[in-house]
């Protein structure tokens, strides 16, 4: 949070305890009247990071994806247009730039929300930025993700992965992700919608695991246990970032 110490932040606390920081005001529940909240607290920028990233296409999961990735986002857009908010910065994913077959509800929902952002920028002169992040990682990360899982088991003799290791991966250190948000906060507001990518070069999970072992100097064996039939029909729309400060060598040494 040191990188955001110059900002007075109202942060919605959900599954993770946000801790205590002088410049962070913890909000326990989403306000019923967001536009009133934005005006009362003089909110000028909204950083919208909430997402349901499940790739499961079961009906119940899709319903929650729609509520989180579309309905919540639309609520934020409406409230911002009715208040003094200058810009909304939202989190997308590099998977939106990679054509994955079969399609999944997550990617569809994120693309749909970007269409809504574009609409509000045109109709309400509201600045909107969607940042397509790579796979964000960092120290003290306890999420059910690839790198925290490997960090937890890196001293074991064997690490088992429930995949075939052929999926694409784009690791990005947390400091680079935060920096990209700060850059948008510091830019003069523009009343249009833009997309930017904050992601490293694509690699397979198999190749990443090999690099992880080399950089972290670990000797564990690897077992991939499932055959996944995901197919990538195109990656031509994916453009990795050119100005990341933390390459894999530096980032993995810091976790």
Q: Which residue has the tokens 């960092």?
A: 138
Q: What is the CA radius of gyration of the chain?
A: 19
Provide block-wise average pLDDT over 10 residues at a time, the chain (255 residues).
76 78 87 95 95 86 95 97 96 89 87 97 95 96 93 97 91 96 87 93 96 98 83 82 94 97
b/e for 152-179, b at 16 or more Cβ within 10 A? Answer: eebeeeebebeebbebbbbbbbbbbbbb
Domain ranges of the chain: 31-138+170-201+231-245
Determine contact, residues 82/39, Cβ cutoff 8 Å: no
Query: What residues have CB less than 8 Å from 22, skipping those under 6 apart?
Result: 5
Residues 120, 83: Cα–Cα separation, whole Å = 13
Q: What is the pTM of this model?
A: 0.91
What pLDDT, on a 0 to 100 scale, did the predictor assign at position 2? 58
DSSP strand pairing (87-93 vs 127-133): parallel
Question: What CATH number does the domain located at 31-138+170-201+231-245 have?
Answer: 3.40.50.720
């Amino acid at each position: 949070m040191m990188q955001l110490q110059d900002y007075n932040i109202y942060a919605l606390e959900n599954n993770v305890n946000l801790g205590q920081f002088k410049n962070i005001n913890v909000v326990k529940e989403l306000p019923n009247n967001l536009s009133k909240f934005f005006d009362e607290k003089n909110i000028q920028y909204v950083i919208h990071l909430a997402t349901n990233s499940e790739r499961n296409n079961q009906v119940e999961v899709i319903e929650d994806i729609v509520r989180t990735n579309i309905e919540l986002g639309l609520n934020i857009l409406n409230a911002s247009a009715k208040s003094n908010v200058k810009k909304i910065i939202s989190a997308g994913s590099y998977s939106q730039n990679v054509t994955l077959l079969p399609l999944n509800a997550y990617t569809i929902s994120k693309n749909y929300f970007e269409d809504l952002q574009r609409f509000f920028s045109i109709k309400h002169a509201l600045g909107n930025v969607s940042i397509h992040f790579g796979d964000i990682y960092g120290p003290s990360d306890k999420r059910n993700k690839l790198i925290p899982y490997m960090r937890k088991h890196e001293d074991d003799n064997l690490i088992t992965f429930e995949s075939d290791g052929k999926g694409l991966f784009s690791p990005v250190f947390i400091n680079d992700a935060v920096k990209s948000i700060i850059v948008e906060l510091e830019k003069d507001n523009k009343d249009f919608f833009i997309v930017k990518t904050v992601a490293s070069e694509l690699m397979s999970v198999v190749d990443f695991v090999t690099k992880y072992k080399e950089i972290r100097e670990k000797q564990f064996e690897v077992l991939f246990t499932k055959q996944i039939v995901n197919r990538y029909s195109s990656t031509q729309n994916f453009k990795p970032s050119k100005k990341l400060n933390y390459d894999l060598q530096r980032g993995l040494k810091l976790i």
